[in-house]
Amino acid sequence: MNKKDVLEIRRQFSPENCAITRICGCYVDGDKEIKLLSKEAFLSMPEEEAFKYYDIFKKTLSGTVGRNLLTMEFPLEAEKPGGRHDFLMQLLKSKLEDDMLLEEFYRKVIEFYDYPENYYIVLIHGNYDIPGKASDGMEMFDASEEVYEYMLCSICPVSLSKAGLSYNAEHNSIEDRVRDWVVAAPVKGFLFPLFEERGTNIHGALYYSKKPDELQWPFIEEVLGCQQVLSSGDQKEVFQTLIADTLGEDRSYEIVKNIHENLNEMLEANKEDPEPLALAKPDVKRLLEESGVPSENLERFEEEYEHVAGEKTTLLASNITNTRQFEIHTPDITIKVNPERTDLVETRVIDGRQCLVIAVDDHVEVNGLDVWTLRQEEDV
């Protein structure tokens, strides 16, 4: 799913667009014991309560596509009768009205979701009547061509509110605040099936993780049955290993800076595209070539890519570069540079020593205090 697909489903979580038919919940304590089971028609819920659930559902579809939101595919064996995909399809078709299927789902989550404290599993079923679109892109709500039937699962931590004092209006007094168990924003979740190109794709699921590098693969494999993909952190590590192995001792500051600048230019050119910028093996090779990697090093790239990443692996540009900062580290110094002004830093050999030279054309601050620049000293 791309950003546009995600936003279209997120818009359904509002009173005006709500297409949720049923909501089910399972409250689990730190000992993995079920403390509460609930299920009801969503539209029968009090409005104030429904609004809080809308926030949970929207947050389960929040973050960056390819980083917090990962499109995952099912292997063929998972789609066979009795497989995990088959189980999810049964749960979907039951519209969450089959108690045995719900209990089995909760038990799977409890067994494989690694969390030592209390949490709340929320599962909803919805039917989105996809409006048709005119040639000018306007939605035609009376020209629906397909109904997207889906399940959204959100897993929310539940923690005891902090101790403190509060004002009691009834008694006009300051008293010890009553501590209660508060449901927090979701940290994990998934949407099944996928919503792609304004239609249903039953061969995949969209997985949400608040922390991109804590995906919990045992949970994904055992509950969803989806194939493993590289997390954002893994992609960055793979890319850095590729650079290091391809360049070897030719890993100069200038080449690494060029790679950073070229990646950022590619992301800027792609920013209006709802699809995240994905780099396959030929794209990465072209990036290195345009960044000044010597041809003899590029001969080594082919073998390194297959060995480190895998022949068919793609890397998202947003996962392998940082558009917000450019940092240079030595054992004793850290330099942070505006990513758009990496030209201000260059390497030179001065008195036989390799040095980083920073061009200073404006004022300089040291611990918040303005100091004289060389130009100012020359002008005095």
**295: alpha, beta or left, given left = phi > 0 and alpha = psi -120 to 50?**
alpha
Beta bridge partners of 66: none
**Residue 68 confidence (pLDDT) above 90:** yes
CA distance linking residue 8 with residue 195, whole number of Å: 9
pLDDT of residue 136: 58
pLDDT of residue 101: 96
Are 52 and 174 part of one and the same domain? Answer: yes
The pTM (predicted TM-score) of the whole model is 0.83
CA distance linking residue 256 with residue 293, whole number of Å: 9
Are 211 and 82 part of one and the same domain? Answer: yes
Q: What CA–CA distances, in Å, run from 242 to 234, 256, 260, 288, 302?
A: 12, 12, 14, 10, 10
Higher-pLDDT residue of 43, 371: 43
pLDDT of residue 361: 73
Give me the sign of the Cα torsion angle 255, 261, 264, 266. Answer: negative
CA distance linking residue 100 with residue 329, whole number of Å: 56
The type of residue at 183 is V
Q: How confident is the model at residue 96 (pLDDT cuts 50, 70, 90)?
A: very high
CA distance linking residue 326 with residue 261, whole number of Å: 10
Across the range 96-114, mean pLDDT stands at: 96
Number of domains into which the chain is organized: 3
pLDDT of residue 60: 97
Are 173 and 263 part of one and the same domain? Answer: no
pLDDT of residue 139: 61
**Residue 216 confidence (pLDDT) above 60:** yes
The residue among 72, 71, 73, 66 whose CA lies nearest residue 232 is: 66
Are 17 and 122 part of one and the same domain? Answer: yes
Q: How confident is the model at residue 222 (pLDDT cuts 50, 70, 90)?
A: very high
CA distance linking residue 297 with residue 289, whole number of Å: 10
pLDDT of residue 140: 61
pLDDT of residue 141: 57
75: which 2 tokens?
């292997």
Are 172 and 297 part of one and the same domain? Answer: no
Residues 149-164 have pLDDT tens digits of 999 999 999 998 888 8
Domain termination site, one of 170, 198, 228: 228
Residues 27-46 have pLDDT tens digits of 999 999 999 999 999 999 99
CA distance linking residue 187 with residue 267, whole number of Å: 28
Are 84 and 210 part of one and the same domain? Answer: yes
Are 306 and 345 part of one and the same domain? Answer: no
Residue 290: count other Cβ atoms within 10 Å of its Cβ: 11
Q: Considering the chain, what percentage of its residues have pLDDT values greater than 90?
A: 49
196: which 2 tokens?
């792609």
Are 25 and 155 part of one and the same domain? Answer: yes
Q: How confident is the model at residue 134 (pLDDT cuts 50, 70, 90)?
A: low
From first CA to last CA, the distance across the chain in angstroms is 61
**Residue 380 confidence (pLDDT) above 90:** no
Domain termination site, one of 197, 228, 259: 228
Average pLDDT along the chain: 89
5: which 2 tokens?
């697909």
**Residue 378 confidence (pLDDT) above 60:** no
CA distance linking residue 209 with residue 216, whole number of Å: 9
The type of residue at 322 is N
Are 106 and 32 part of one and the same domain? Answer: yes
pLDDT of residue 323: 79
Kindly report the three-state secondary structure assignment for every residue of the chain: CCHHHHHHHHCCCCCCCCCEEEEEEEEECCCCCEEEEEEEEHHHCCHHHHHHHHHHHHHHCCCCECCCEEEEECCHHHHCCCCHHHHHHHHHHCCCCCHHHHHHHHHHHHHHCCCCCCEEEEEEEEEEEECEECCCCCEECCCCCEEEEEEEEEEEEEEECCCCEEEECCCCEEEECCCCEEECCCCEEEEECEEECCEEECCEEEEEECCCCCCCHHHHHHHHCCCCCCCHHHHHHHHHHHHHHHHHHHCCHHHHHHHHHHHHHHHHHHCCCCCCCEECHHHHHHHHHHCCCCHHHHHHHHHHHHHHCCCCCCEEHHHHCCCCCEEEECCCCEEEECHHHHHHEEEEEECCEEEEEECCCCCEEECCEEECCHHHHHHC
Residues 272-301 have pLDDT tens digits of 888 889 999 899 989 999 998 888 888 888
Are 224 and 295 part of one and the same domain? Answer: no
Q: How confident is the model at residue 185 (pLDDT cuts 50, 70, 90)?
A: very high
Range of the domain at 191: 3-228
pLDDT of residue 338: 83
Domain termination site, one of 177, 212, 228: 228
Q: What CA–CA distances, in Å, run from 199 to 5, 69, 147, 189?
A: 9, 18, 8, 21
Are 14 and 153 part of one and the same domain? Answer: yes
CA distance linking residue 16 with residue 153, whole number of Å: 22
Are 271 and 258 part of one and the same domain? Answer: yes
